[in-house]
């Protein structure tokens, strides 16, 4: 592993640790935190099963513009990325109202056809809305992909933040991204701050706030609380309009970095104890300092072990609902390689857990064995029969709190294959998976591990299963897991009567294994129903599914357009089979709709129609009762599946199947 990749991994883990540190007291004032907790030292409570958070949702999703559009995306293309992956007024970020929440305002502007950067501009939204804190809290990956290049990081951050912010909101984004880029090479936090300030206007208020804290620190370097009193009195919330202005929090971030003196723990603890937007501030400084000090500078037992490499991600696409930190670090490093013109063999859709990043666990855990990374492998030790596994599905019961509902799909499906590379001395092992709905356990054949061995288990085709765990069991002693892969094509059937309703909050609920973009999605008489006044959509599966056969029924119960979705690569990039009064059609959607093929077809309310949609390469073919009706080249060769309605339609679905071709 390269040092650059290790630092990227450390920076992202630092971001996640800071978010978890600050989240329990988000929005608290300094005095309340001091009275309640005194001096903070480590996480507040058990955050091992931490919820999705807007501070990590945005960073995961918005940088996908560098894959979906170009390695040098415009602000307008990043804005389209918002539209492609954000659920409509739930999850992702704070939906506090148009003109109140900056992100809500920007999203509604984008959805109404106002492109970025106008969508986030002062000219469109006014100075108060444009200069709230969100400009910097989503920006960390734009710095992580530009190691040692603060100018490039600042420029990318300017474009990304311009989707939703302007003025000091953009300057904060540029500062944070530049600081992260500088932190790859510098070991002194003062140098990091000084170099990052060069990327924003010297006379902007953001720069003045940071320099004011620097001067105070020079004159009073020992007492951060005295400095906070100065920040509170001169740069506090009472001086700036809006719900969460960037300037007071910028001053807190500078304070935490100066008084933390490059110590990771102390920096995120101080950022939290100051109050205000604690998870945002601790997350940003956690990424900057984490990148600077590297993995060896972060207390693993204190900050990283409880995290176990995992983070939930609330967005509109189910297969992005839970991500592990090593994968994301490699994803960002792949972008860096492409920016630098270096060769890369990263496969975004691969489910590979190899433990090569120092200390990485990929979320594997055990109740019956000691499990730890040991030099590029997972060392598992027990005194008797044991198992180690990874959660492959995360329902609401997995989380301790679910404010940002992470509606997710499994990462392993019936019909696919689990492969593992193992080492041991006379150990008997077998692969297994566990179905959350039936409670059944499915096991592969026993393998004798005496030296090196490989185990392989192809899951059977199942009806209405939800594979929630995958792992390996053994008869005791030491087992080394070098690698686990989830590969192959899905092969399964779903009857909606058998799937539970997932209740993340009293308002946010969805069907098991589906993510909802928009509309009412529930169950009626054992069938899924989807309805919306304008455009509703749910999805399941994986963005990287290849050739497949999707068979489903559709029963329209209100006038409009009913859709079976295939080759889905976001809510604005997909192919669909549409049924309406105009007949049957294959359409391609790419931030707009184009009809590729159409034929006459009956459309009767209450009538159940059954279709098979074959996706082979870029060709989509629709069959009914074995008869080919339509075929078209859709320009997409992979993607998830789902359902949609338009123009006030309401649709019922009893069951569907996904089979390999």
Same domain, 221 and 286: yes
CB 161 within 8 A of CB 139: yes
- Name the pLDDT band for 404 (thresholds 50, 70, 90): confident
Helix (H) or strand (E) holding 209: helix 205-219
Region 306-323 average pLDDT: 94
Residue 529 lies in a domain: yes
Name the residue among 631, 633, 641 with its Cα closest to residue 565. 641
Share of the chain above pLDDT 90, in %: 96
Residue 159 lies in a domain: yes
Average pLDDT value over all residues in the chain: 96
The predicted structure's pLDDT at residue 300: 97
Alpha helices (runs of H) in 515-661, residue ranges in sequence order:
none
CA distance 578 to 583: 8
Percent of the chain with pLDDT over 70: 100
pLDDT for res 1:
62
pLDDT of residue 365: 97
Mark whether 219 and 99 lie in a shared domain.
Answer: yes
**Residue 324 lies inside a defined structural domain of this protein:** no
440: alpha, beta or left? (left if phi > 0; alpha if psi -120 to 50):
beta
Report the b/e string of 223-255 with b at 16+ CB within 10 A.
ebeebbebbbeebbbeebebbbbbbbbbbbbbb
pLDDT, tens digit, for every residue of 454-486?
A: 999 999 999 999 999 999 999 999 999 999 999
The verdict on residue 337 lying in a domain is: no
Question: Other CB atoms closer than 10 Å to residue 465's CB: what's the count?
Answer: 26
- Please state the three-class secondary structure of 245-264 as a single string: EHHHHHHHHHHHHHHHCCCH
- Looking at the structure of the chain, the number of domains it has is 3
Q: CATH number for the domain including 646?
A: 2.60.120.560
Is 317 part of any domain? no
Alpha carbons 400 and 406: distance in angstroms, whole number: 12
Co-location of 140 and 28 in the same domain? yes
pLDDT > 90? residue 432: yes
The H or E element containing residue 644 is: strand 640-646
Same domain, yes or no, for 196 and 271? yes
Q: What is the pTM of this model?
A: 0.97
Domain final residue pick, 261, 293, 312? 312
In this prediction, residue 519 carries a pLDDT of 96
Residue 204 lies in a domain: yes
Q: Binning pLDDT at 50, 70 and 90, where does residue 154 land? A: very high
Q: What is the mean pLDDT of residues 49-78?
A: 96
State the residue range of the domain holding 557: 514-660
For 332-346, what is the mean pLDDT?
A: 95
Q: Does the pLDDT value for residue 113 go beyond 70?
A: yes
Same domain, 423 and 464: yes
Q: Residue 477 sits in a domain of what CATH number?
A: 2.60.120.260
Do 254 and 109 belong together in one domain?
Answer: yes
What pLDDT sits at residue 193? 98
pLDDT in the model for residue 200? 98
Token pair listed for 589: 């959607």
Q: Answer yes or no: do 180 and 33 share one domain.
A: yes
- Mean pLDDT lowest among 40-49, 187-196, 421-430, 535-544: 40-49
Question: Alpha-carbon distance 613 to 332, whole Å?
Answer: 35
234: domain CATH number? 1.10.4080.10
Burial of 95 (0-12, 13-18, 19+ CB in 10 A): middle
Q: Are residues 481 and 565 in the same domain?
A: no
Mean pLDDT on 249-266: 98
298 with 378, same domain: the answer is no
What DSSP designation does 404 have? B
- Of 294, 312, 330, the residue at which a domain comes to its end is 312
For residue 314, give Cα distances in angstroms to 266, 540, 560. Answer: 29, 14, 29
Residue 568 has pLDDT above 80, yes or no: yes
Spatial distance between the Cα atoms of 632 and 621, rounded to a whole number of angstroms? 7
214: DSSP letter? H
| pLDDT for residue 182 | 98
| Confidence at residue 509, expressed as pLDDT on a 0 to 100 scale | 85
Structure tokens, 432:
């297994």
pLDDT at 129 over 70: yes
For residue 143, with 0-12 CB atoms within 10 Å meaning exposed, 13-18 middle and 19 or more buried, which class applies? buried
Q: How far apart are CA 177 and CA 181, in angstroms?
A: 6
Assess if residue 360 is contained within a domain: yes
Whether the pLDDT of residue 502 is over 70: the answer is: yes
Q: For 267-284, what is the mean pLDDT? A: 98
Same domain, 72 and 182: yes
Same domain, 268 and 300: yes
Q: Is residue 552 part of a domain?
A: yes
Distance CA 539, CA 649 (A): 17
Give the E-state strand segments of 238-350 in sequence order.
310-312, 322-324
Please indicate, yes or no, whether residues 643 and 541 belong to a single structural domain of this protein: yes
Q: What's residue 622's pLDDT?
A: 98
């Amino acid at each position: 592993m390269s040092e650059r990749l290790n630092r990227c991994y450390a920076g992202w883990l630092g971001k996640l640790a800071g978010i978890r540190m600050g989240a329990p007291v988000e929005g608290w004032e300094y005095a309340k935190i001091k009275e309640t907790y005194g001096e903070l030292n480590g996480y507040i409570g058990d955050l091992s099963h931490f919820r999705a958070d807007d501070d990590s949702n945005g960073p995961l999703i918005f940088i996908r513009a560098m894959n979906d559009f170009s390695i040098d995306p415009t602000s307008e293309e990043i804005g389209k990325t918002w539209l492609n992956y954000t659920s409509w007024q739930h999850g992702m970020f704070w939906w506090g109202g148009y003109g109140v929440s900056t992100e809500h305002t920007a999203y509604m502007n984008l959805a109404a056809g106002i492109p970025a950067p106008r969508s986030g501009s002062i000219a469109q939204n006014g100075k108060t809305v444009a200069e709230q804190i969100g400009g910097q809290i989503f920006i960390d990956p734009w710095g992580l992909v530009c190691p040692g290049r603060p100018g490039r990081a600042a420029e990318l951050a300017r474009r990304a933040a311009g989707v939703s912010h302007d003025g000091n909101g953009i300057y904060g984004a540029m500062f944070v991204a530049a600081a992260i880029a500088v932190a790859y090479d510098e070991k002194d936090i003062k140098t990091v701050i000084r170099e990052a300030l060069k990327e924003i206007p010297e006379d902007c208020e953001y720069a003045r706030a940071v320099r004011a804290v620097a001067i105070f620190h020079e004159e009073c370097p020992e007492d951060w609380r005295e400095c906070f009193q100065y920040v509170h009195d001169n740069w506090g919330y009472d001086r700036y309009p809006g719900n969460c202005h960037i300037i007071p929090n910028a001053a807190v971030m500078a304070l935490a970095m100066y008084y933390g003196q490059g110590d990771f723990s102390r920096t995120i603890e101080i950022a939290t104890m100051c109050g205000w937007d604690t998870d945002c501030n601790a997350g940003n400084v956690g990424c900057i300092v984490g990148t600077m000090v590297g993995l060896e500078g972060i207390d693993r037992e204190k900050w990283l072990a409880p995290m176990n490499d995992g983070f939930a991600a609330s967005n509109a696409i189910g297969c992005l609902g839970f991500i592990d930190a090593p994968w994301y670090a490699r994803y960002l490093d792949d972008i860096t390689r492409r920016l630098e013109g270096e060769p890369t063999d990263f496969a975004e859709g691969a489910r590979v857990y190899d433990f090569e990043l120092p200390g990485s666990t990929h979320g594997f855990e055990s109740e019956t064995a000691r499990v730890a990374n040991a030099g590029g492998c997972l060392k598992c030790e027990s005194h008797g029969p044991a198992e180690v596994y990874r959660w492959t599905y995360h329902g609401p019961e997995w989380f301790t709190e679910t404010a940002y509902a992470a509606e997710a799909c499994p990462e392993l499906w019936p019909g696919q294959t689990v492969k593992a590379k193992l080492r041991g001395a006379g150990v008997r092992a077998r692969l297994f998976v566990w179905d959350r709905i039936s409670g059944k356990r499915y096991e592969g054949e026993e393998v004798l591990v005496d030296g090196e061995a490989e185990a392989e288990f192809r899951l059977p085709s199942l009806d209405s299963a939800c594979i929630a765990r995958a792992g390996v069991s053994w008869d005791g002693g030491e087992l080394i897991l070098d690698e686990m892969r989830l590969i192959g094509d899905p092969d399964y059937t779903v009857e909606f009567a058998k799937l539970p309703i997932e209740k993340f909050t009293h308002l946010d609920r969805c069907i098991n294994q589906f993510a909802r973009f928009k509309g009412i999605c529930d169950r009626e008489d054992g069938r899924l129903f989807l309805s919306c006044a304008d455009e509703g959509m749910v999805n399941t599966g994986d963005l990287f599914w290849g050739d497949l056969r999707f068979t489903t029924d559709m029963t329209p119960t209100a006038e409009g357009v009913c859709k079976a979705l295939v080759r889905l690569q976001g809510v604005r990039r997909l192919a669909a089979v549409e049924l309406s009064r105009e007949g049957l059609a294959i359409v391609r959607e790419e931030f707009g709709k184009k009809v590729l093929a159409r034929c006459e077809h009956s459309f009767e309310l209450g009538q159940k129609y059954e279709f098979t949609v074959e996706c082979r390469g870029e060709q989509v073919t629709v069959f009914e009762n074995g008869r080919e009706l339509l075929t078209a080249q859709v320009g997409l060769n992979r993607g998830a599946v789902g359902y949609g309605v338009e123009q006030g339609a309401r649709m019922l679905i009893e069951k569907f199947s996904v089979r390999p071709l």
